[in-house]
Amino acid sequence: MSDSSTLFMHDGLVQQDIQASHTATVYMFGGSVQQNIQATNSAIVTIDGGSVLNEVQILKGATVTLNSGSIAGINGSRDSSFYIYGGSISTGIVATDRTYVEIYGGSIGTALNVEDDAFVYIYGGDFSVDGGATLLPDGYYLSAAGPVLTLEGVLKDGSPFSTVYDMTLITYGDIFLTVISVPDVVDMSQVNAISTLTDEGYTGGTITEQYNGIVAAGSVISQNPVAGTTATPGSAVDLIVSIGPCLLLYDTNDDCVIDIKDIANIASVWLIDCNITPTNAACI
């Protein structure tokens, strides 16, 4: 069905897919769809009852509203939207490619998967104890209320992480996570490092200056958290910044301290026999 056509389903059995596109509208009040409901190109699907034994699949700006009834799963991509006020979703939700999801109620089964610039806002609903949320690179998740939820993800470098939240103890807006890793700002100038952190959603934290004969003055020697780890956007990244070499006499390793390491380095030069090793740098 397409081009502004409308389908009302109150009961009965549909053994094939229901396909809606080009501003078509589907209203489901009862009955059973044995396969999928597929909505694309700004189609609208409203489910107020009945059951879909497979997925509701939407893309290209289509919209699905679930008020009651049961469906196996929702799979959305390419600027589609889900609004969930009730009902049950047995296997969970997959949202990708700029999909927008709002969950106000209902029961979400196995998992919530978010990736590729999709957004999910949770204002209520019942998540299964064994379920959770999975975010892949560039997925976003904003939680508002609910029970214990396990948030698992994969960073851009492929490393996994897992965090458990007691959703009953937080209020709207308390958690906003995006699955990105802390950028590598080592060897950047302090100005560029802070700019890079800001662009990635972090802030510059404590700046500690340290002598260093290798890293140029004004550049970052190290950072904490280190690059590649997960940190909540808005959190601070501490930097150690070089102020150049110490230039202390007999400080052979530029740590601005004369210690046993320097004595050993100096002694190793004194003990060189240039008749045996005439090409050694100390003999030239």
pLDDT for the residue numbered 173: 36
Q: Is residue 183 part of a domain?
A: no
Please tell me whether residues 38 and 173 are part of one structural domain: yes
- Which residue ranges in the chain fall short of pLDDT 50? 129-148, 155-156, 166-179
Residues facing residue 13 across a β-bridge: 32
Residues 147 and 75 placed together within one structural domain of the fold: yes
Task: Say whether both 148 and 237 belong to one domain.
Answer: no
Is 185 inside any structural domain?
Answer: no
| Domain end marker among 121, 149, 178 | 178
What distances in angstroms separate CA 107 from CA 68, 91, 139, one per listed residue? 10, 10, 22
Q: 171 and 153 in contact (C-beta within 8 Å)?
A: no
* Residues 146 and 201 reside in one and the same domain: no
The set of residues, in sequence order, having a beta carbon less than 8 Å from that of 78 and lying 6+ positions away, is 59, 60, 61, 97, 98, 99
Which is nearest to 183 in space by CA: 235, 137, 226?
Answer: 226
Select from 147, 148, 181, 174 the least CA-distant residue to 163.
148
Q: Which amino acid is at 195?
A: S
- Do 159 and 121 share a structural domain? yes
pLDDT of residue 219: 96
What are the angstrom distances between the C-alpha of 151 and each of 175, 226, 276? 11, 22, 64
Q: Is residue 1 part of a domain?
A: no
User: What is the span of the domain harbouring residue 67?
Assistant: 6-178
CA angle 102, 103, 108 (to 5 degrees): 135
Amino acid at 224: N
For residue 192, which phi and psi values (nearest 5 degrees)?
-65, -35
Contacts of 199 (CB under 8 A, 6+ apart): none
| Number of domains forming the structure of the chain | 2
The verdict on 171 and 218 lying in the same domain is no
Report how far residue 71's alpha carbon sits from residue 49's, in angstroms, rounded to the nearest whole number. Answer: 10
3-state helix, strand, coil in the chain (%, to 5): 10, 45, 45
Q: Say if 184 falls within a structural domain.
A: no
pTM of structure: 0.52
The rounded distance, in Å, linking the Cα atoms of 171 and 138 is 24
| 209 and 171 belong to one structural domain | no
Per the domain annotation, does 81 fall within a domain? yes
Residue at a domain's end among 124, 143, 178: 178
Helices (H), the chain: 190-199, 260-270
Look at residue 166 in the predicted model and tell me its pLDDT: 47
What pLDDT score was predicted for residue 263? Answer: 74
Give the distance from CA 207 to its chain's centroid.
27
Which pLDDT belongs to residue 103? 79
**Residue-wise pLDDT tens digits, 114-145:** 666 677 776 666 655 334 444 443 444 444 33
Q: What is the CA radius of gyration of the chain?
A: 29
Q: Is residue 200 part of a domain?
A: yes
Residue where a domain stops, chosen among 178, 208, 223: 178
Check whether residue 57 and residue 136 sit in a common domain: yes
169 and 54 inside one domain? yes
- The secondary structure of 39-89 as a DSSP string is EETT-EEEEEEEEEEEEEEEETT-EEEEEEEEEEEEEEESS-EEEE-SSEE
Token pair for 10: 């109150």
Same domain as 113, residue 30: yes
CATH number of 230's domain: 3.30.10.20
Q: Are residues 272 and 162 in the same domain?
A: no
Same-domain check for residues 10 and 110: yes
Residue 123 lies in a domain: yes
Residue 251, CA distances (Å) to 212, 248, 260 in order: 11, 5, 10
Q: For residue 187, what are its two tokens?
A: 């060897």
